[in-house]
Amino acid sequence: MYSNPDIEKTRGPTSKGHFARRWWIYLVVFTSIVVLVTLLVVIFVVVPAIAQDSVDGAVVQVDGIAITNPKANGITVSMNSTVKAQVPVGGARLSPQTFEMYLPSADDFKSLNLAPTFATLTVGELPVKDIFTINVTGSETAILNQNIFGQFSNQVLKNEVINLGLRANPAPNIGIGPLKFSVNFLKIVQLKGFNLLKGITLTNATVLPTPLEDGTNMIGDGIIPNPSSFIMQVGELTSNITVAGLALGFSVIKDLVLYPGENRVKVYTHLSDEWSGSPLVSSVVSQSNVNITLTITSVIYKGEHVPWLEKPMSDLSPFYALMNPEPAALEETSSTAESASSTVFSTEAPTASTAAISSTIISMEASTTPKSPVSSAMNSKNTLTSSTVRSLVSSTTIPTLTTSVIPPTTVPETPAFVVQPLPEEVLAKLLLPVISALPAVV
């Protein structure tokens, strides 16, 4: 094939001259492509990863939760919380979101999205800073799972510390200027629980000579401690009350709201008919450090039962209260002679050589000292059972004394010793030291 050498010589230098004169154009294009690819990687890969790391590393501290207007199927929730995070850029905002509340399990970190939701909480748009707050006020919340919410309530009442799971669904967006990045929000926060309401105290219990219209025949003051992070509106709380296993009746606390700290309440007690006029009850309520056992029977708010609160409180019963916890100055009474039976009751402290029931000494002017019926009622743990105490109240008798036989020539017939029940006033003196000697449960 024919070729012109002049033409070949002309093309070579012309092509080289083109690149030599316009090299910067190619450099700009190449640099722009590199910058664009890098920018896209940063925007769609690096920045979302940084945003997700910031969310994952954030620490959520719940400062307080208020649960009010308790109903069978819903509650009103208010929450104050603080979030601490390391935010790489300023001006970021977290889109409005819905927090799902759930009960974390032991293997929750393997399946965070599988735990069932028991309630939701809607939160508005939030500024993302190193420290920012999430505050919700008066959010009407439906109970989505009664069984799980009941378990949550049980843990709140029972434990010192509980775990609450929070997750955002759907996933919220973090906005930086016009850019938005989707992030996953999954957190397990720790809350302080009620710790079985330990430390309940009762004071100033007064038996009313005339019952109120609702049947209340004893009124007293109470202090219910709340060490938790919760404000809990309860409503009307009813519980059966027992002392040393002996059922005295039931008590009602009206319009109960448990705030963090000490809650002072009025306790309206309905003593059963058999105890309403008994001097034993009046004497018991005046003693110090008397253990009261409370068994919750109902929780009612505005005339309706609250099952998610009533059942856990019933299941966790009994709760314990201490009546008159401050030491009272007990006056020692002198020995009282009972002329009919020559029986002496004393409040001297027991000694190893003295037959005693706690701090009560029973001495009989007879040739033998029979075992006291109260001693027989005490079990191996030195506590009284309700059946034995009740039998003492109804059928306690004076022990039979040994009598000398007088010759028939002097007295034709020996008079029979008459067995009579102990008066309630005497029985009260007998049982009170036993009740006060029982160990305090705090």
Q: Please report the sign of the dihedral spanned by the C-alpha atoms of residue 180, residue 181, residue 182, residue 185.
A: negative
Same domain, 347 and 272: no
Q: Length of the chain in residues, anyone?
A: 442
**How many Å apart are CA 46 and CA 49, to the nearest integer?**
5
Final residue before a domain boundary, out of 323, 349, 371: 323
Q: Is residue 217 part of a domain?
A: yes
pLDDT at position 2: 54
Same domain, 303 and 217: yes
Same domain, 204 and 189: no
Average of per-residue pLDDT values in the chain: 73
Same domain, 237 and 300: yes
Q: Which residues contact 298 (CB under 8 A, 6 or more apart)?
A: 236, 237, 238, 305, 310
Inform me whether the pLDDT recorded for 395 exceeds 80. Answer: no
Inform me whether the pLDDT recorded for 334 exceeds 60. Answer: no
At residue 97 the predicted structure's pLDDT band, cuts being 50, 70 and 90, is: confident
Same domain, 319 and 225: yes
Final residue before a domain boundary, out of 323, 358, 391: 323
pLDDT at position 54: 73
Q: Is residue 367 part of a domain?
A: yes
Same domain, 122 and 60: yes
Per-residue pLDDT tens over the stretch 152-177 = 999 999 999 999 988 888 777 677 66
Containing domain of residue 389, as a range? 336-399+417-437
Per-residue buried b or exposed e for 186-211, using 16+ beta carbons within 10 Å of the residue's own CB = bbebebbbbbbbebbbbeebebeeee
Least confident residue range of 61-65, 276-280, 325-329, 431-435: 431-435
Q: Is residue 328 part of a domain?
A: no
- Measured in whole angstroms, how far is the alpha carbon of residue 79 from the centre of its chain? 18
At residue 338 the predicted structure's pLDDT band, cuts being 50, 70 and 90, is: very low
* Mean pLDDT confidence for 302-317: 95
Same domain, 176 and 201: no
Same domain, 430 and 315: no
Q: Is residue 51 part of a domain?
A: no
Same domain, 74 and 130: yes
Least confident residue range of 60-69, 139-148, 323-332: 323-332
Same domain, 207 and 124: no
Final residue before a domain boundary, out of 152, 176, 193: 193
Q: Is residue 21 part of a domain?
A: no
Split into its structural domains, the chain has a count of 3
Q: Is residue 306 part of a domain?
A: yes
Bridge-partner residues for 231, per DSSP? 66
Task: Name the residue with tokens 């049982």.
Answer: 431
Per-residue buried b or exposed e for 383-395, using 16+ beta carbons within 10 Å of the residue's own CB = bbeeebbbebbee
Q: Is 79 exposed, middle or buried (0-12, 13-18, 19+ CB in 10 A)?
A: buried
Q: What is the DSSP letter of 197?
A: G
User: In this structure, are strands 230-243 and 186-192 parallel, antiparallel, or unpaired?
Assistant: unpaired
Q: What share of the chain has pLDDT > 90, as a percent?
A: 34
Same domain, 76 and 189: yes
pLDDT at position 361: 25
Same domain, 232 and 343: no
Q: Is residue 7 part of a domain?
A: no
Nearest to 166 by CA among 260, 58, 315, 308: 58
Nearest to 223 by CA among 251, 246, 201, 198: 201
Q: Is residue 178 part of a domain?
A: yes
- The CATH number assigned to the domain holding 244 equals 2.60.40
Least confident residue range of 11-25, 64-78, 201-215: 11-25
